[in-house]
Amino acid sequence: MNQIYDMLQANSNGRIKKGSNEVTKTAERGTAQFIILAEDVNPPELLAHIPLICAEKGIPFGYVADQEHLAQAAGLPAGVKAASIAVMEITKGAQEDFNNVVKAIEGLKA
């Protein structure tokens, strides 16, 4: 979903947490604003628990196709991969993109 990449790039000054352990912690604490998971994670069980926690805590989440593109959109160095990203705060410049992504994801669930 390109909207997720766009939102993450627009939120470049916002705080993020990266990696399955950090993302799991933020989800359990309910402190994440949005969680992004890469679909190409191997084994998929690495992230399988995160959507369940998000549903329990009411945290919106979405999937993107590729770990490398996710890392790039998050502003991580070239060649780095990110299986998951937790967006901790939404900057003013990214608020509209964030709202659009959440609406699109809620529309898919309906």
What is residue 65's DSSP assignment? S
Specify whether the CB–CB gap between 88 and 15 falls below 8 A: yes
Cα–Cα dist 10/68, whole Å: 18
CATH number for the domain that contains residue 97: 3.30.1330.30
Mean pLDDT on 87-104: 90
State if pTM tops 0.75.
yes
Domain enclosing residue 22, as ranges = 2-109
Average the pLDDT over 30-55 and give the result.
Answer: 96
pLDDT digits (tens, 9 = 90+) for 16-38: 999 999 999 999 999 999 999 99
CA distance 24 to 2: 24
Q: What is the DSSP letter of 52?
A: H
Answer yes or no: is pLDDT of 109 > 90.
Answer: no
pLDDT at residue 93 greater than cutoff 90: no
Calpha distance 74→9 (Å, rounded): 6
Query: β-strand 61-64 against 16-18: which pairing, if any?
Result: unpaired
Where residue 1 falls among pLDDT bands split at 50, 70, 90? low
Share of the chain above pLDDT 70, in %: 97
Count of domains in the chain? Answer: 1
